Amino acid sequence: MLLFNVFCGNQAASFSAVFPVASHLAMHIPDGFLSLPVSLATWLIAIALIAICLNKVQGDYQERAVPLMGVCAAFIFAAQMINFPIPGGTSGHLLGGTLAGVLLGPWAGSLVMTVVFIVQAVLFQDGGITVLGANIFNMGLVGTFGGYFVYETIRKALGWNSWRGIGTGTAIASWVSVFVASLLCAVQLALSGTIALPIALSAMASWHVMIGIGEAVITTIAIGYVYRTRPDLLYKPPRSTTVAKTPVPR
């Protein structure tokens, strides 16, 4: 599961490290890795995000919010447990930010991801409590919210109702969101003085290029499955399918 990446960076101070990185770290920073200012700033942003998401979701789903968001969070949680082979020889697991965004929309998607992080941090000590704000910022705001808007832009450009638009958007958005989230994580670690910036950046970037490809492949296949079988369940479903096909009876 852990992969040893070797980097021989020739930076100003001539760093070099045999730097073992788990796919885990980028997405779940543990307690003690971030300094007070970084924690505080990311917490403030995260709290604002949660407040807006809660309001939006309450408005959109009304009383269905609780059961629906609950099972969807459990769905992401379960989906993160499956390991799959990543092109390049190792295996990784889904992070699910863009998947949640494309299926549920930016607000509900971010809320679901936030709930998953809270449960992982509080109940399973998977990611710290003091750095929960940073984890929500990286993967909830940037990974899900940002990922959704990348997807929406590409979908608009390539064809709103076609698989070409949806599929390409999903693939690119999931790779970009994972990659950018990992870079942000590296910057936060460096700002806190925990890991030097060149080491953190190079380690995170090189490892998450591959993780991102795995994420993109799996997310696109999953969205493709939903597109083929129940396109009406996608957030902002393609028009042709919602009118032409009747939903599968329950």
81 binds another protein (CB under 8 A): yes
Q: Which two tokens stand for residue 90?
A: 């190792």
**Tokens 């490290």, residue located:** 17
Sequence-distant (≥ 6) Cβ neighbours of residue 3 within 8 angstroms: 20, 21, 22, 90, 207
Task: Report the nearest approach of another protein to the CB of residue 100 (Å).
Answer: 10
CB-count exposure of residue 237 (10 Å: 0-12, 13-18, 19+)? middle
Tokens standing for residue 51: 């407040």
Query: Does 95 engage in binding with another protein (CB under 8 A)?
Result: no
| Beta-carbon contacts of residue 203 (< 8 Å; ≥ 6 apart) | 5, 7, 17, 19, 21, 186
Cα separation, 204 vs 25, in Å, equals 9
Cβ nearer to another protein, comparing 33 with 145: 33
- State yes or no: residue 51 binds another protein (CB under 8 A): yes
46, 173, 184, 200: residue in contact with another protein (rule CB under 8 A): 200
Return the range that interacts with another protein (CB under 8 A); candidates 14-22, 145-153, 154-162, 171-179.
14-22
User: Which positions from 115 to 154 touch another protein by CB under 8 A, shown as an x/- string?
Assistant: xx-xxx-xxxxx-xxxx-----------------------
Q: Is position 19 an interface residue for another protein (rule: CB under 8 A)?
A: yes
32 binds another protein (CB under 8 A): yes
Quick check: 236 binds another protein (CB under 8 A)? no
Residues 168-187 that bind another protein (CB under 8 A): none
102/124 Cα distance (integer angstroms):
27
Closer residue to another protein (CB): 131 or 142: 131
Q: Is residue 48 part of the contact set for another protein (CB under 8 A)?
A: no
Asked if 6 is part of the footprint of another protein (rule: CB under 8 A), the reply reads no
Is residue 144 within 8 Å of residue 177, measured between CB atoms?
yes
Q: Which is nearer to another protein, 48 or 157 (CB)?
A: 48
Q: From CA 220, how far away is CA 208, in angstroms rounded? A: 17
Among 77, 160, 163, 235, binds another protein (CB under 8 A): 77
Interaction between residue 45 and another protein (CB under 8 A): no
